[in-house]
Amino acid sequence: MIQVENTPNPESLKFLSEQIISETGTEEFQKSDIENISNAFIKELLNFKGVELVLLSKNFLSVKKDKTVSWNELKPMVISHLNHYFENNKNPILETKNNLKKNVSAGDDETIEKIKEVLDTKIRPAVEKDGGDIKFKSFKAGVVKVELQGSCSGCPSSLVTLKQGVQNLLKHYVKEVNSVEAN
């Protein structure tokens, strides 16, 4: 059964599944990159009229649309596409090919490890509730650069989320952080 939730972005909806959608963590796919996408499910979804972006996570996917199509038209198509996939496949849409790697990489300094840990444990779960994701990009001279994905990408409230939510939490838990910027 697929449940649908609104997100703070009116051009984006979150589709929740009881099935595992992605074993590989959160991944974003954009219509502009469709020629580089090999996954048939994602390619078909991006070919739906008006679909700009698809974000897949463990138990949900977010779809961001443009203004040329209404949710009344698109929502049943997405639900049907998901249901059809899981009726015919036992495996997740995105499967792990090898062991899942942790967000922290060898060679990260202690400050970057702390930043990634706060993003993973305190911030990502809240952002995922709104159908999005946040990715660490860099840390230099007190400035953390992150990328907002899925429903958060282009959302009117994303700048407020970034400054009041993400920046305040990171500054609280990681003293070396002075500010946070979208990459």
- Top-ranked range on mean pLDDT: pick from 39-53, 118-132, 162-176: 39-53
Share of the chain above pLDDT 90, in %: 54
Q: pLDDT of 21-42, one tens digit each?
A: 998 888 999 999 999 999 999 9
Residue 149 is predicted with a pLDDT of: 84
Per CATH, which fold does 2-88 belong to?
Ribosomal Protein S8; Chain: A, domain 1 (3.30.1370)
Residue 108 is predicted with a pLDDT of: 57
Name which residue leads in pLDDT, 105 or 68. Answer: 68
Mean pLDDT across the chain: 87
Q: pLDDT of 116-145, one tens digit each?
A: 889 988 888 888 888 888 889 999 999 999
Lowest mean pLDDT among 23-27, 41-45, 69-73, 97-101: 97-101
Strands (DSSP E) found in 97-153: 132-140, 143-150
Give me the residue spans of the domains in the chain: 2-88, 110-182
Write the CB contacts of 68 (distance below 8 Å, at least 6 apart in sequence).
Answer: 49, 50
- CATH number for the region 110-182 comes to 3.30.300.130
Distance from C-alpha of 182 to C-alpha of 147, rounded to nearest angstrom = 6
